[in-house]
Amino acid sequence: MSADDSVCVKALVSGQVQGVGYRWSTEQRALAAGLTGHAFNLPDGRVEVLLCGAPRAVKEVVQWLHQGPEHAHVSDVAVRDLVPPTWPQAFRTG
């Protein structure tokens, strides 16, 4: 899939989303959907998620972000479209 066929979104996820497996679970969902991007903890307690790939797959993972893994308590997911300067080739956590 080329960047021309792909979309990219950045999501900022708030709530109890650090220390509960949120980034790992997001990575597993993204990889299963064939997406690239990242999931990073932010100093303010949120998780930043970048998802790039097929529009339908991105939409499905974004919907899952609102729930997250079993021990997460998501209070808000702010999503915006993004055109990254370079498209990620893999999915990573940090």
Range of the domain at 32: 11-83
| Residues that are catalytic | 23, 41
Q: Given strand 91-93, what is the order of strands in its sheet? A: 73-81, 7-16, 47-53, 36-41, 91-93
pLDDT digits (tens, 9 = 90+) for 69-82: 999 999 999 999 99
Q: Could you tell me if residue 27 is inside a domain?
A: yes
Query: How would you class 1 by CB atoms within 10 Å of its CB: exposed for 0-12, middle for 13-18, buried for 19 or more?
Result: exposed
| Residues 6 or more apart in contact with residue 83 via CB below 8 angstroms | 8
- pTM of the model as a whole: 0.93
CA-wise closest residue to 49 among 62, 36, 39: 39
pLDDT tens-digit map of 2-41: 456 899 999 999 999 999 999 999 999 999 999 999 999 9
Q: How many domains does the chain divide into? A: 1
Q: Tell me, yes or no, whether 47 lies in a domain.
A: yes
Please report whether residue 62 resides in a domain: yes
Tell me the pLDDT tens digit for each residue of 38-73. Answer: 999 999 999 999 999 999 999 999 999 999 999 999
